[in-house]
Amino acid sequence: MTFQRARTDEQRSERRRQILDTTAAMLADMPVAKLSLNELSRRVGLAKANVLRYFESREAILLQLLDAEQQDWIAELEDVAPSGVGTPRERGDQLARLLAESVARRPVLCDLMGAQATVLEHNISAEVALRHKQAALRSAERLAEVARLRLPELAPQDAFRLVGLTWLTIAAAWPYHQPPQALLDAYAADPALGGLRADFTDVVRQSVEVTLSGLLARAEDAPLGVRPLGAAGPRASAE
């Protein structure tokens, strides 16, 4: 295909959208690890150098797709009306189930989140990293609002902590949901190992349930990763 430079903002936006749509379609058939820039360029119908006119790297494409997938997921959750019925624990369990089941229906999002820290956030410029983290912050704030609509007992900062811990759970649990053939063969050979192969949806649901119970019980208004005031450090003296 002869390359024709996109000369207007509308044409450039359309070209970027085409690249992102093609990437999303590829990820429906293959994991992030197998998606190459060469194959993406071939499917888009552009030389690799021309794809790089619109995105600085494969990872930059995948990060923007991750941001878009998260926004789509959160928009879906925002459209689900909260029940407002039951005790805080019951409503927390409903929220946990909603988050787990809805994200499990989005394997592309889960795969991107699983590769985010180890793959996607490498080989990018500070400018791309800044845009990605700003988009992630906006998504986290929206998802925290979703949580508080269903569980207003959560303090705003605790809702934000819930989002961060839920994202970490998804990222950590998804790779275990896609075991290589050798592990599948091991599970088949020894049924006693079945308990080691956890169900992704159940892992996310249970993790969110336990996290919510802890946040409601402790009610500590501290940012994710920051020790609350007065809490002893890991090497605090017992004296």
Is 72 a domain residue? yes
Over residues 91-133, the pLDDT tens digits come to 999 999 999 999 999 999 999 999 999 999 999 999 999 999 9
Is 225 a domain residue? no
Q: What pLDDT does residue 166 have?
A: 97
Over residues 219-236, the pLDDT tens digits come to 655 555 555 444 444 444
Q: What is the mean pLDDT of residues 144-164?
A: 95
pTM for the complete prediction? 0.83
Is 85 a domain residue? yes
Is 47 a domain residue? no
Portion of the chain with pLDDT greater than 90, in percent: 71
Is 99 a domain residue? yes
Is 16 a domain residue? no
The tokens for 58 are 């494969």
* Domain CATH for 189: 1.10.357.10
**Number of structural domains in the chain:** 1
Q: Does position 11 have pLDDT exceeding 90, yes or no?
A: no
Is 107 a domain residue? yes
Is 232 a domain residue? no
Residue span of the structural domain in which 157 resides: 56-218
